[in-house]
C-alpha cells in the first residue's frame, strides 16, 4: 500500500493506494459516522460498510443535483447528524461529488472521507478536493474546494466495473500520461489487454502515478488559478460533447483529447509524428465519439464556465508528457476549430 498526501488550505488529505480497505476503521471515528453510497455499490459491497447509519442515493449522474442534497439533508436531520459527525462517501465519482459538496455546506461544514470504488473516482473525482453538483443542466456549476480527510483507493472494488466504466478511468489516466508522464503513455500502449483486464499490479501502478501527478499539481494550485488548469486537457471539448451527445464522461474525454492533440499539431505545438502516435493510442482503446459541428462548439465555448471575459484557457500538448496552457479569445479558438474541422471527418 502507498500513501500520498495533499496539503489543502483547510485540511490535509491522506490518499491510500493498493490493498487498503482494511485501514478504514483506523481512520474513522468510533461513533457518529454516516455512510453515504448509491444503490449499486450498496448492493455489491454492503458487507464492507462500517456499522453505522447508511443512506443510499440512486446510482449515476441523475443523482448529482440539489434534490439529492435536499433529500440527504432531510434524512441527516432525522438521524441527528450535527457538526460532531463524520461522513464517509462509499462509491464512484457521483457519490464523491455529492458527499464532498454536502459535507462542505451542511451546518457550514463537517469532516468527510471517501472509499472510491470506480477507476475514475480513484484517479480523479475522489482526489484533489473539488466537488460540485449540476443545476439546470449545467454540469458542476455549484461546488466548493474542500479536501476529504482520507481517500481509500483499493483495486479490489474495481473488478465489478463495466468495460465502459473502466474506459472512463483509463481516459483520465491517459490524460495524466499526456500532460506529465510519458511512462504512463507507454504502459497504456504496451499493456492494452492487461490494462482492460485490470491486472492488479499494473492498475495499482497506474493509479499511483496518476494520483502522484494530481497531488503534485493540487499542492501547487489547489484552487485552479494557474497550473491546475493543465488537468483540463481534453475537457473543454469533452464537456461540450457530454452536454450535446449524452455520452459518458470517459468517451467525451477520449474524444476531447484527440481534438486537443490535433489542434496542437495544427498550431505546430507538437510534431505531426507525435500527434499521430497519440491519436493511434486513443483509437486503440476504441472509445471515441464524433466531433460536434462548429456552431455547437463555438456557442458552447462562449458559455464555458471557465472562461475569463472573452478569453479562454485552452490546454495544448507539446510532447507526450508535456502540456501547455494558452489563453486565447473565443474568436481565435473558433478560427482554429474551423480550420481543424475542415480537414477532419
Ligand X SMILES: NC(=O)c1ccc[n+]([C@@H]2O[C@H](COP(=O)([O-])OP(=O)(O)OC[C@H]3O[C@@H](n4cnc5c(N)ncnc54)[C@H](O)[C@@H]3O)[C@@H](O)[C@H]2O)c1
The CA-CA-CA angle for residues 283, 190, 151, to 5°, reads 90
Mark the segment that binds ligand X (CB under 6 A) among 112-120, 260-268, 284-292, 296-304.
Answer: 112-120
Q: Which residues contact 32 (CB under 8 A, 6 or more apart)?
A: 81, 84, 85, 86
Q: Which CB atom, from 251 or from 258, has the smaller least distance to ligand X?
A: 251
Classify residue 344 as exposed, middle or buried by CB count within 10 Å of its CB (0-12, 13-18, 19+).
exposed
Mark the segment that binds ligand X (CB under 6 A) among 91-99, 182-190, 251-259, 264-272.
Answer: 91-99
Question: Residue 157, interface with ligand X (CB under 6 A)?
Answer: yes
Selected binder of ligand X within 18, 89, 113, 128 (CB under 6 A): 128
Mark the segment that binds ligand X (CB under 6 A) among 3-11, 76-84, 85-93, 315-323.
Answer: 85-93
8 Å CB contact between 96 and 89: yes
Q: Which residues contact 18 (CB under 8 A, 6 or more apart)?
A: 1, 2, 153, 154, 155, 204, 208
Binding mask 27-66 for ligand X (x = CB under 6 A): -----------x-xx--x--------------xxx--x--
β-strand pairing of 33-38 with 86-91: parallel
Q: Taking the complex as a whole, how short is the minimal distance between the CB of residue 288 and ligand X, in angstroms?
A: 18
Q: Which CB atom, from 234 or from 330, has the smaller least distance to ligand X?
A: 234
Question: Residue 97, interface with ligand X (CB under 6 A)?
Answer: yes
Compute the CA torsion angle 34, 86, 63, 300 (nearest 10 deg).
-170
β-strand pairing of 150-153 with 54-57: unpaired
For 178, 180, 340, the CA distances from 276, given in Å and listed in that order, are: 13, 18, 15
Run of H or E residues at 148: none
Q: Which CB atom, from 94 or from 173, has the smaller least distance to ligand X?
A: 94
Question: Residue 228, interface with ligand X (CB under 6 A)?
Answer: no
| Cβ-closest position to ligand X | 93
Q: Taking the complex as a whole, how short is the minimal distance between the CB of residue 315 and ligand X, in angstroms?
A: 15
All three cell numbers of 15, joined, read: 490518499
Question: Residue 312, interface with ligand X (CB under 6 A)?
Answer: no
Rounded CA separation 54/90 (Å): 10
Selected binder of ligand X within 8, 91, 155, 234 (CB under 6 A): 91
- DSSP letter assigned to residue 195: H
Question: Residue 256, interface with ligand X (CB under 6 A)?
Answer: no
| Positions that interact with ligand X (CB under 6 A) | 38, 40-41, 44, 59-61, 64, 91-95, 97, 117-118, 120-121, 124-125, 128, 130-131, 140, 157, 160-161, 165, 168, 249
Amino acid at each position: 500500500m502507498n500513501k500520498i498526501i495533499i496539503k489543502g488550505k483547510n485540511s490535509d488529505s491522506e490518499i491510500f493506494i493498493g490493498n487498503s480497505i482494511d485501514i478504514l476503521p483506523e481512520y474513522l471515528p468510533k461513533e457518529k459516522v454516516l455512510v453515504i453510497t448509491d444503490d449499486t455499490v450498496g448492493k455489491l459491497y454492503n458487507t464492507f460498510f462500517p456499522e453505522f447509519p447508511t443512506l443510499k442515493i440512486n446510482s449515476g449522474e441523475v443523482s448529482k443535483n440539489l434534490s439529492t442534497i435536499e433529500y440527504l439533508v432531510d434524512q441527516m436531520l432525522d438521524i441527528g447528524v450535527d457538526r460532531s459527525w463524520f461522513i464517509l462517501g462509499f462509491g464512484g465519482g457521483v457519490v464523491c461529488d455529492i458527499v464532498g459538496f454536502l459535507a462542505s455546506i451542511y451546518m457550514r461544514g463537517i469532516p468527510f472521507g471517501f472509499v472510491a470504488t470506480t477507476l475514475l473516482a480513484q484517479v480523479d473525482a475522489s482526489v484533489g478536493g473539488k466537488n460540485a453538483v449540476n443545476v439546470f443542466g449545467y454540469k458542476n456549476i455549484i461546488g466548493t474546494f474542500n479536501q476529504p480527510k482520507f481517500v481509500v483507493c483499493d483495486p479490489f472494488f474495481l473488478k465489478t466495473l463495466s468495460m465502459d466504466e473502466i474506459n472512463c478511468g483509463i481516459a483520465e489516466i491517459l490524460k495524466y500520461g499526456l500532460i506529465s508522464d510519458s511512462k504512463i503513455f507507454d504502459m497504456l500502449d504496451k499493456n492494452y489487454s492487461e490494462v482492460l483486464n485490470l491486472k492488479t499490479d499494473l492498475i495499482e501502478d497506474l493509479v499511483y502515478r496518476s494520483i502522484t501527478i494530481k497531488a503534485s499539481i493540487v499542492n501547487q494550485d489547489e484552487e485552479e488559478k494557474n497550473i491546475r488548469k493543465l488537468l483540463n486537457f481534453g475537457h473543454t471539448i469533452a464537456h461540450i460533447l457530454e452536454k450535446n451527445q449524452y455520452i459518458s464522461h470517459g468517451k467525451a474525454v477520449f474524444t476531447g483529447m484527440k481534438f486537443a492533440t490535433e489542434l496542437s499539431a495544427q498550431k505546430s505545438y507538437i510534431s505531426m509524428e507525435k500527434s499521430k502516435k497519440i491519436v493511434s493510442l486513443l483509437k486503440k482503446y476504441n472509445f471515441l465519439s464524433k466531433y460536434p459541428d462548429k456552431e455547437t462548439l463555438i456557442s458552447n465555448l462562449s458559455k464555458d464556465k471557465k472562461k475569463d471575459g472573452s478569453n479562454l484557457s485552452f490546454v495544448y500538448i507539446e510532447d507526450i508528457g508535456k502540456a501547455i496552457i494558452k489563453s486565447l479569445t473565443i474568436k481565435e479558438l473558433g478560427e482554429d476549430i474551423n480550420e481543424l474541422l475542415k480537414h477532419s471527418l
